[in-house]
Structure formats: C-alpha cells, structure tokens
Amino acid sequence: VDARTAGIELQNLTRPTVAVGFFASFAAVALAENPQWRTRINESETGREAFAFAQEVRRFYPFVPMFPAKATKDTEFEGCPIHQGQRVILDFVGTLHSAEEWDNPASFDPERFMAYETQSEAETIKPFIPQGGADVRTGHRCPGEKIAVTALSAAVEALARPEVRISAEAIDTNYSMTEILARPKSGVRVTVASSS
C-alpha cells in the first residue's frame, strides 16, 4: 500500500474512534436521563437495544452541526440552482431534528431504531445522516461509520452495566448546536463500583 492510501486508511480508523469518544459522553448523559433503557440493554440477549440506543444518540446529539462542501457539478435542489464549485452546507442538526422527517424529533427515543438489525439497514433511512449521507462508495458518508456504530454500541453496553455509576447530579447536559465536536458542557463523571 502506498503512503497516501495508508494515511487515508489511518484517518478512516482514527476519525470514527474520536467520534465515538464524543458520542459516548452523550450516551452516558442519555443513560442517566433514561434509566429504563439501562435495564433493557442489560436484559437484551441480542444487543439490539444497545444498537438502537447508539443510533438514537447519533441522531439526537449531532457530532457536528453541519458539513460544508463544494458542488462538483451544476445541479438544482428544490428549484434552487447550485453551480459547480459553489459552497453548500449539509445541516445535520436541522435534518436530524426535523419534524418533517422524524416523529417527535425533540424526544430521545431509541425505539425508533429497534426495527433495524444492522447499520446497513439504518443507512436506508434517508434523513439519518449523523456521519454524512448517501452510499459510502458513491456519496459523502463516513467510511468509518460502521466502526463507529460498533464501538459506540459496545460503549453503550458497558455504560449500562449495573456496576457503572453515571453522576446525574450537577451534569449540565446542554450543548452548543453550533460547536464543532459537540459535547456536554459539564462533561460526564462515570465510576465503576469495585467487585470486591
């Protein structure tokens, strides 16, 4: 493998790993605010609850507010001409919280993803664009997204375990929808009870 390809592949592994760290902090907040899901995740034999919870974390807490790009060719969107080279912005927050696209978008509800068993199935939800849109081979979707979802699902399972304590008091769960790499303002404190 040439150096350029190796560098690109390293970034494709590193970026989703960083994303998971930010998403995991929001998963901890969501578990503290939705304790009934901790029970469901712990009682699950399939891991689908952790997967659905991870997907809803990605929808509810966008990693970045928007994604800028340049049009590669002249096109049109809803009657508005877009010219080659023109800057365009994909609005993650607006799309992932749109009442036109989602039922009760302001509610954290992992149940909306329980019908999907795999990441490939979840990618068929057109407005579900937490790490880009379209097909990873032909569109602008993060090639490391499947790694991120797998790692985040594992993090959700670990955070939901009974011996894990997530400090619910003094957590400022607010976050800026304009900040690049969103995170809870106060951070999250997680402790694990000793097994002895």
Q: pLDDT, tens digit, for every residue of 25-71? A: 889 989 998 999 999 999 999 999 999 999 999 999 887 888 888 99
Over residues 148-186, the pLDDT tens digits come to: 899 999 999 999 999 999 876 666 667 666 666 666 766
Sign (positive or negative) of CA dihedral 44, 45, 50, 56: negative
The residue to which tokens 């039922």 are assigned: 103
Task: Tell me if 131 sits within 8 A of 147, measured CB to CB.
Answer: no
> Distance (Å, rounded) from C-alpha 51 to C-alpha 72?
34
Over residues 84-133, the pLDDT tens digits come to: 999 998 888 899 999 999 999 999 999 999 998 888 888 888 898 888 77
Residue 26 is assigned to a structural domain of this protein: yes
Q: What is the 3-state secondary structure (H, E, C) of 77-106?
A: ECCEEECCCCEEEEEHHHHHCCCCCCCCCC
Residue 75 is assigned to a structural domain of this protein: no
Global pTM value = 0.84
Per-residue pLDDT, 136: 75
Output the domain CATH number for residue 34.
1.10.630.10
Residue 47 is assigned to a structural domain of this protein: yes
Residue 77 is assigned to a structural domain of this protein: no
Residue 84 is assigned to a structural domain of this protein: no
Per-residue pLDDT, 64: 80
Domain that residue 113 falls in:
3-63+93-192
The residue to which tokens 């909306």 are assigned: 112
**DSSP secondary-structure letter at 185?**
T
Per-residue pLDDT, 11: 85
Residues sharing a CB contact under 8 Å with residue 124, sequence separation 6 or more, in sequence order: none
In the numeric block, which tokens belong to residue 165? 């304590």
Residue 76 is assigned to a structural domain of this protein: no
Number of domains in the chain: 1
Per-residue pLDDT, 41: 98
Residue 72 is assigned to a structural domain of this protein: no
Closest CA to 123 of 114, 115, 134: 134
Residue 128 is assigned to a structural domain of this protein: yes
Q: Name the H helices within the chain.
A: 3-33, 35-43, 48-60, 92-96, 119-122, 145-160
